[in-house]
Structure 1
Amino acid sequence: MGRKRSHSIAIWTVLILFAFWTVVPIALVVLNSFKRAKDIFTVSPRLVFTPTLDNYVNAFTKANFGLYYVNSVIVALASTVIVIVTGTFAAYALTSFRLRSANTIANGFLLGKLVPVISMLLPLFVIINAIGLRGTLAGPTIAHVALNLPFVIWLMMGFLRDVPPELQQAALIDGCTRMQTFWKVLFPLILPGVAAAFVLSMQYSWNELLFSLQLTNLDTYTLPVGIAGFVGAISVDWGLSSAAATATMVPLIIVGFFVQKHIATGTTGGAVKG
């Protein structure tokens, strides 16, 4: 009993410390977004203060943050939908069709994911600039698709391999086409994986800075680029940047709250087989 109690205390201590480490920085950002400058720059953090919405008003009116928000929604949704559709069907083809080079193709996608992201910046910049998409929303969208696609393919391959092949064979024998088999039999079973891939791809595209900074201009900046613009060479507008960061976190927190069960299943469900 004493050993079990010590084990439980150790586990709870680690969980509490991890929660503290995770929640406190976020809480400070949220609090700073409602503070005036004089309250932010106190020597000790001031928990009791008069809240204000000036930082949010300035972010969406003076800092052109509303445009960055719309740009991020377009880029994140477009890249995520493209990645989910192409990645799921590519995984379906690699796991269900008898292709001689299926393993080679799958390993090629994995190799693309192992390459450091920074090393892909110059080639993608050259390609997107050559086809005239630099400075448009299509530029970062294509870059995010290229970066997320290998991950989604491998994640969905794990789920599709877990589905018993007898289910597909039974559907084909009953007269279903390949597409009918996919939508009526496979898709409901791999839905947790699709939800996990959607949220994780959306999160990456929503928060990605490097490619968005290099492939956009003032009219097509996304949220991370816009927030980075609040950091000046001499000073940082902490109130404005905190308000922008808080507004940026809200959509993903809401989405993650509603699909958290699918995320937990999706990130582990395809890890047993394949």
Structure 2
Amino acid sequence: MLTEVTATRYITPLREGGSLPGLVEADDLGTYVMKFTGAGQGRRTLVAEVISGELARRLGLRVPRLAVLDLDPAVGRAEPDEEVQALLHASPGPNLGMDYLPGSLGFDPLAYAVSPREAGRVVWFDALVNNVDRSWRNPNMLVWHGDLWLIDHGATLTWQHNWPAVEAAAARPYDASDHALAPCRPDLGAAADDLAPLVTAELLAEVTALVPDAWLVGDDETADPAALRARHAELLLARAAVVSEAITVGDPTPARPPAPPGWLLAPAPRRAGEGR
């Protein structure tokens, strides 16, 4: 299970992400980036954060430690922003905490060199989980103590937003042309040799078991958490066997970005006092 801690102080909102995560302190004396169950993107993004983040860790990639962070909205009562207050009050109970990396810097390819082998491992992993949000426009990587760390995996496992079409997801192509590490000449062959044998049914069962039931089922009381875990595991296992052939790296698209998926544009929580 993920470590369970309790938020004791809300420090500040982090406005870089669309879901408005917050920086909080917890009763283990740690500082976390909290991602909220009440954010507009919904709990499925937290499912993706846990499964993809913990899978990456077990494949040898660096991901900040994750925890289940229990929230009493009262810890943020001094926060003056009404949007933040609405988010806090929409997210009581267990939320997702990501260990804060103090002093880390956003990845800049001009300032930090990534070897083809490491780049290949990251690109291969992103293709496995169908990460649509690690482009040169928004790398979602940090450099901390001289090492590359992967963050923000809420835009992975995109098949869970359309389960009826899941049968086609295993062989879905992955265009890495705009990937933040595409210019690093990723060695995808070495990555496949290293990582594909590690993606086993046992490993995927271990990773999917870390997701709290409430995040899997959301508001659907008829949903079966065990069945949803099994569907994720089966899809990832099937995809690991064929994903190497699904990756293409071509010329990046023009500077003007394409429209993001609609589920990433979900409305933010309603401000206090706004009409329904």
TM-score for the superposition, normalised by structure 2: 0.25
Which protein is richer in strand relative to its size?
2
TM-score for the superposition, normalised by structure 1: 0.25
Which protein is richer in helix relative to its size?
1
Larger RCO, structure (CA 8 Å, separation 6 or more): 1
Higher-Rg structure is 1
